[in-house]
Amino acid sequence: MKTIVIKSVLTLSAVALFICSNAQSDNRITFNSDTVNRNVDVIIDGKIFTSYIYPKDLEKPVLFPIYTASGIAITRGFPLDPQPNEQIDHPYQVGLWFNFADVNGIDFWNNSYAIPADQKSKYGSIIHRQILEAKDGKKRGILETTSDWVDSEGKVLLTDRTKYVFSGEGNRRIIRHTIVLTAQVPVVFDDNMEGLIAIRVSKELEEPSYKSEVFFDEEGNPAQESIINSEAAHGFYRNSEGKRKESQVWGKPAAWVCLYGTVNNENISIAIIDDKKNPGYPARSHARGYGLFATNNIGNKSFDKDAPLMTIALKPGETVKFTHIIVIQNGHFLSDDELNELSKN
C-alpha cells in the first residue's frame, strides 16, 4: 500500500493561531494560504476549523481535517494521518469532498493511489487550478476555487467553480458549499449511487459494527489479523422524514440527514442539508454505518429500482449548480426544529 505523507496539514502560522486568538484583527473568520504545501487554512475565532488541501498525490481537492469548535476532529485520519483503531478501507474517502462516479462513463468517485495502473483509464481526477478569492470576514469567510475534471489522458470534461462560505458562532460551525460545473465537451451524469458531496467521519462517529475489519495498530501499521472493534463507535443517523440509522436512512430522499455521536464525552452532530433549488431535490442519502456520510442528487434508480432514472446532460458551455450546507455542532445534539430552520437558509 502506498503511503501518502503530509508532514503537517497545519502551517506554523495556523498552529500559532490555534493557540492564541487573532487579537490584531476584527475578522472572526480568516484564511492562511500556503502555496508551497498546497493548502489554505480556515481559522475561526483564532482556532483552526479546517484546511482546503490540494496535494499532488490526491485525486481531488478536499477539506481536511475538520474540527468542531471545541477542537475535536470529526474526520477520519487515514490515509493522510492514520489514527489507532481506524479502518483502512476506501482510501479515496478523505475529509469532505464533491465528485461523482459516472461522468461520460468515467469514475471520479473511486479514484485513488490504490487503483492498478492497468485500470486507471476508467477513472478521472479533479485538478485544482486557482484560488480566486480568500476573503476574511466578521460573520463569514469566503473561499472560492477553480478546478478541472479530467480523464486519465488529461482531457478536460468539466471545469468547476466552487465557493465555500464558512461561518458559525459558539459551538456551531457551518460550511455552505456551492459548485458550478461547466461542460467543456458533451457531458452526461448517469444515475449512480456513488456521489455527490461526502464526509468520511472519525471512528467515534461510525455506527457500532460487529463485523471483522482491518484497523491500524498503535504504530500506524495495518493489524496482522482482522479484528472487531465497535467500542469506540457511537454514531447514528436521522433524517428529515424521521428515519433512523443506516438501515432506514440509506437510499431514501430527505431534505436533510444528520449524524449524531459522542466523542470524548461530548455530543456532536453533523448535518448535510440539501438546497431546494438543486437538481434531484430532495437528494437521496448515501450514508453508511462504516463512516461514509454522503448526499447524492444524481442517484435515483441506483438506490431504488422502481424509481425513475436520473441523468443530467450538458452541452459544451452549459452549467449545472449544486448547493449544500454542512452543519457541525458540538455541546448538544441538533434537534429537528433546528435543522428545519437551518434548511430555510
pLDDT tens per residue across span 26-74: 779 999 999 999 999 999 999 999 999 999 999 999 999 999 999 999 9
Closest listed residue to residue 237, CA positions, set 206, 282, 264, 195? 206
Cα 308 to its chain centre, rounded Å, is: 27
Q: What's the pTM value of the predicted model, to 2 decimals?
A: 0.89
Q: What is the CATH number of domain 82-342?
A: 2.70.98
Specify the pLDDT at position 232: 78
Residue 26 and residue 22: Cα distance in Å, rounded? 8
pLDDT of 308-320, one tens digit each?
Answer: 999 999 999 999 9
Beta strands 292-296 and 284-285, pairing class: antiparallel
Inform me whether the pLDDT recorded for 224 exceeds 70: no
Say which DSSP state 46 is in: T
Residue whose C-alpha cell is 479515496:
92
| Contact by Cβ (8 Å): 230, 209 | yes
The pLDDT of 195-222, averaged and rounded, is: 77
| Contact by Cβ (8 Å): 195, 294 | yes
Residue 184 and residue 77: Cα distance in Å, rounded? 35
| Contact by Cβ (8 Å): 212, 121 | no
